[in-house]
Structure 1
């Protein structure tokens, strides 16, 4: 037996000097001479592949194995009943080895030295052509010479296959190889199906990349037929996912590869300092169903019970800071006190029965993302807020010319209240606007006459008719403002000395408000755009204000130098500026006035705030009791 150092040296000597040598007959002759008769399984064993192979290869099929090498695959297939197998390889050394190895125990299995790009068989001789790693060895690059050889290989496979026969190709599906194979056979009118291999013997695998099995079924090419059959299968799917284009199919392959690499990384390393996430799609529709965010805490001391936990974010609450931002999720991880926390977000347009159903669906998948050092048979807890999956109902879908697709949806908040959100699908973690819905509205019962009329027609009232005027949660709480900076902007109206409304007439305004996001992410100011605080533009704003008017600006600026410049410009246009900082936020609200004569004392501000609140409260109308204008004005300062 070789010692470890000798074994390592042998492996090094077997490796080619360049990938180009993989397609060289001379390389394989030398390889098998040095390797000897022991089997070399590049992409896993028969056990790894048999579940898929048995779906597409019948026991009575005539099977051609191209580039057989000294793999045990065809031998194991023979032993379970596949006895119409012919093996070919470009290496005479390996063919002689395989003949000797199988002469007695598998007398009807054939081995032939033959180049698969120029086979000696007649047309339509086989029901199956099986390749395990040979295409990968041939297509080492995309040079003209290599592509020509691949085209010859594919043409020969197509020639020796019967119509309805299958080319079964086991491959790592490197991008250039997958693209070439799928494009070639789909253009020939052959249906393409790709299986991801369920890994049974990963400990003995030569590669960390996943293995795929391509199934190309020979159909007669129909002139003018444009539709292609392209399908993706994975071990957890009951049926294949039909895709619309070669590009989508290749993206699905790439997604599986990226997931395998991520799993390998997560099984050995911490993600601390990285923002790692992945999305799992619905196996039927292909649409996103779950997004996982992985939070690792190096500072957390490991115990037997705090290695790993799963946190399910209730529907509609994924936009909250704690769940929708990297910093928030890190804070959630610290609060949960687990070394690794997997934060799971549920996607809209997907149905979820219950928390128990979600746990059952995810229990196998989440364990693939377990951290290193997880004790065997460790019970992994599922956590959530309140123990339920939340409520989210899409009320309307639309599209904006400027911002793309959007949805309007009702969600249940932590306090049991319902909120109506506008979400642009280009940025699903941000609520564009929010309104609070009242729990009760006035009831209106259909008249007895209408009820009788419906009864005479023999048609019962529809659910929509029954509840058309009885929809709890459909009335908007007009006193509610979701953002603290909006509350501060409204509180600033107490600074107005006029009592006759917000529009003074004669093209002069009592109040002008700016709350505009900047799309320029290169600046340290996200609100407003730089042009909105240019001195020329601000002078135009000033000219639109009434003499005792008020300009209210939401300023969000992290660049201290830029903020100082903005403040200098504002002071040059508006002599009196009040500042309201928002606790816990970067937002600062500036109340700008045209004359120092309007300067108010703190006592006057509080009284004005209370008066404004009393004015806004209307008898018989709901008022948000959490909104106290006078309290907000206590922290206002003059800058």
Structure 2
């Protein structure tokens, strides 16, 4: 549920006088500003969050304010504690984050967002100046030890042009989550970038799954209006997802890890076997569908929450079949007790690739993937036992901190022959690939899997750089990675 709003009269001013780890206070107040472009509401909603890692004795706390984007007031990013935590932890060393926005309606109905016109820079600066007296009252006392403090202002920007909620669901494991159709900024008039997304309330700034969204328009109803808002207003308008194309960059890089074992995949196929993949974490099922339909792999997926699986089926076109098997269970329990069966029900030796796309269920200290309890030598040994001797373990990694990353790589390096890294370029995700034997990649013109990879993820190969890790893990220079 959205955090309830409290009248300002019940908020004791002394609560803001000191930085208190993870303290989160929200309240409403009559709008004192003379600014009707960005904050036009009669009532404002304010939220004050102290960092979970802040030190109470810090004599130079960093206080940051952010204006909630207009029309985004009901977005979980801006009206939940989990969203505030993720916003705070995306930047270094913030002691307190203050969000100011229009007070959202209690029952907003179907959540639709349309990007407002760009605000003039002078208007933004005028609003910042008007907010300064209010923000001074929300600074801790220690901020005034060296004179009047200066509040930093952050501007929230993303690529969202239009969004409509398709479904809101509550899972018994993951909690509330949303299925959304969105239009992204950019794209030509005839080729708008439309996506279907899956987001969890526990980590609202993270897009769990994303797929290409395709409008189904009758030839007689062809129109030059290809924006999502216009398409949805068309009578009988329908949409479907296309999982033949990957649109999330880190997922593309996970699939690119197959380049390291394409010769092995070909050999398995020539021996009369379909190569087999184990995917820990299903989400919208986009990766599993792609591996099956485009790469010809038989796939076993593991998902802890049946509600997520139902959403994947209803909204992302995910279909179980003889070639796609699903296990509804905790991933840690599955890898410890797994008895690999092929789709025909006969014993099969190993998986040719294991892909791990799991995140922590507890985001109070920041988002990380995989969960901290996953980064253990015993877990990696269990995964190794499920892999063919020429197989690959591919992990989506968002490090909680530098120790998290170095521990993960070091533990993998003690078990596997080689460990590789792909920098996804977004300063958050990178993909770690561990293989049990020397790379079997090669420019084999007769390799069906190599050709499929080249055709389905063009532009990724040969430009993806794999970095074999040698020597001490602490000496590795990983560019563009920001540790929270």
Tell me the TM-score normalized by structure 1.
Answer: 0.38
Q: Which has the higher helix share?
A: 1
> Greater RCO between the two (CA within 8 Å, min separation 6)?
2
- Which protein shows a greater Rg? 1
